């Protein structure tokens, strides 16, 4: 488990310091984000992620990766192309300070989803999601591991499938999320995504 966490930290490119953002400046700059993510980062559209309460370090990495072409996100790329590092830090500071809304899980998928999230799948060498994302899905902000709780199931499912098929590769050279997602069957992805949506 210790080696997995070390690998995740290294693969996420989390060594180094980030610019300290200004949440008030970020609020002003967030106007263009509102159409997809909501004014406070609580997206109403299931295909756009909720980013309210997300860790600053994670937000900075993801926005920077999209801006720099290291993560494919065609819908978002036009909005981040001209952002400076300071702009990104300000936006991250603003959205991380917002309160995330919750969601609900499909009761028919809870048993399987909870089993994967809390215990992994030993036969497939799939670790428990809570090892990096916490028992309540709050993530580990200081390490850059994202908050998952309450995230739209459709979005989580889409990202896990993107990791699985290699469309999303910004999990670092150790390919931690790609390797984990690749081992999951579509039905397992659907179940764990639903369970995550209901986490509080």
| Residue-wise pLDDT tens digits, 59-88 | 999 999 999 999 999 999 999 999 999 999
The proportion of the chain whose per-residue pLDDT surpasses 70, expressed as a percent, equals 90
Q: What is the pLDDT of residues 15-44, one digit of tens each?
A: 444 568 999 999 999 999 999 999 999 999
Euclidean distance between CA atoms 184 and 162, whole angstroms: 12
Domain count, the chain: 2
Do the domain assignments include residue 104? no
Euclidean distance between CA atoms 103 and 197, whole angstroms: 5
Which residue range(s) make up the domain with 46?
2-96
Burial (0-12, 13-18, 19+ Cβ within 10 Å), 89: buried
Query: Whole-model pTM?
Result: 0.89
Same domain, 193 and 115: yes
The CATH code of the domain that includes 26 is: 1.10.760.10
Euclidean distance between CA atoms 103 and 150, whole angstroms: 5
Same domain, 83 and 114: no
Do the domain assignments include residue 103? no
| Statement: residue 12 has pLDDT above 80 | no
Same domain, 123 and 182: yes
Report the chain's mean pLDDT, rounded to a whole number: 92
């Amino acid at each position: 488990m210790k080696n997995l966490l070390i690998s995740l930290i290294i693969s996420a490119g989390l060594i180094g310091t980030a610019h300290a953002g200004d949440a008030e400046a970020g609020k002003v700059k967030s106007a263009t984000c509102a159409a997809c993510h909501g004014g406070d980062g609580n997206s109403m559209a299931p295909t756009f992620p909720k980013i309210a309460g997300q860790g600053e370090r994670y937000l900075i990495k993801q926005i920077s990766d999209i801006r720099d072409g290291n993560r494919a996100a065609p819908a978002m790329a036009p909005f981040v192309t001209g952002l400076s590092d300071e702009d990104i830090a300000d936006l991250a500071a603003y959205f991380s300070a917002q309160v995330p809304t919750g969601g609900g899980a499909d009761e028919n998928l809870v048993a399987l989803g909870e089993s994967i999230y809390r215990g992994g799948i030993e036969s497939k060498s799939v670790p428990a999601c809570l090892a990096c994302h916490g028992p309540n899905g709050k993530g580990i902000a200081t390490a850059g591991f994202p908050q998952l709780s309450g995230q739209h199931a459709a979005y989580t499912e889409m990202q896990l499938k993107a990791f699985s098929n290699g469309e999303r590769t910004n999990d670092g050279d150790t390919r931690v999320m790609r390797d984990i997602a690749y081992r999951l069957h579509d039905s397992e992805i659907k179940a764990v995504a639903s369970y995550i949506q209901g986490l509080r």
